[in-house]
Amino acid sequence: MDFAGKKYKMISSENFDDYMKALGVGLVTRKMGNAVTPTVEVSEKDGTYTLKTSSTFKNSEISFKLGEEFEEETVDGRKVKSVVTKDGNKLIHVQKGEKETTIIREFNGDEMKAILKVDDVVCTRVYKSE
């Protein structure tokens, strides 16, 4: 897993405000969410992955085995049932709750691209390893 153990820092974000709006996130939280540049770290041990997203506003940490459903509380407070699968260099994270959301994290060398989808909204966030 060449992406495990690396720390990625966000360098660009498109449509995150629309993504948050589609999820019903309020103005103040959206402003904060739009202002921060999170870091993402993925690690793996004995088949258990940990994905840590950190920012000066909110943090999130999930642990999972590929293909196994787990409960997740998202940073905007949704309680969802999530499954992460791996397709080559992509981790595909499906979150089922009131709305279904998908986060595809694609790893290429020192870059990680996160593509977040809900309804017909697509948000793209690019990260670079430090």
Rg over alpha carbons for the chain, rounded to the nearest Å, is 14
Residue entry with tokens 């787990």: 70
3-state secondary structure of 20: helix
| Pairwise CA distance, residues 94 & 26, whole Å | 23
Kindly state whether residue 25 participates in binding ligand ACD, applying the rule CB under 6 A: yes
Kindly state whether residue 60 participates in binding ligand ACD, applying the rule CB under 6 A: yes
Kindly state whether residue 74 participates in binding ligand ACD, applying the rule CB under 6 A: yes
Closer by beta carbon to ligand ACD, 61 or else 68: 61
Distances (CA, A) of 85 to 56, 70, 99: 28, 12, 19
Closer by beta carbon to ligand ACD, 42 or else 114: 114
* The binder of ligand ACD chosen from 6, 8, 49, 53 (CB under 6 A): 53
- Site residues for ligand ACD per CB under 6 A: 20, 23, 25, 29, 33, 36, 38, 53, 55, 57-60, 74-76, 114, 125
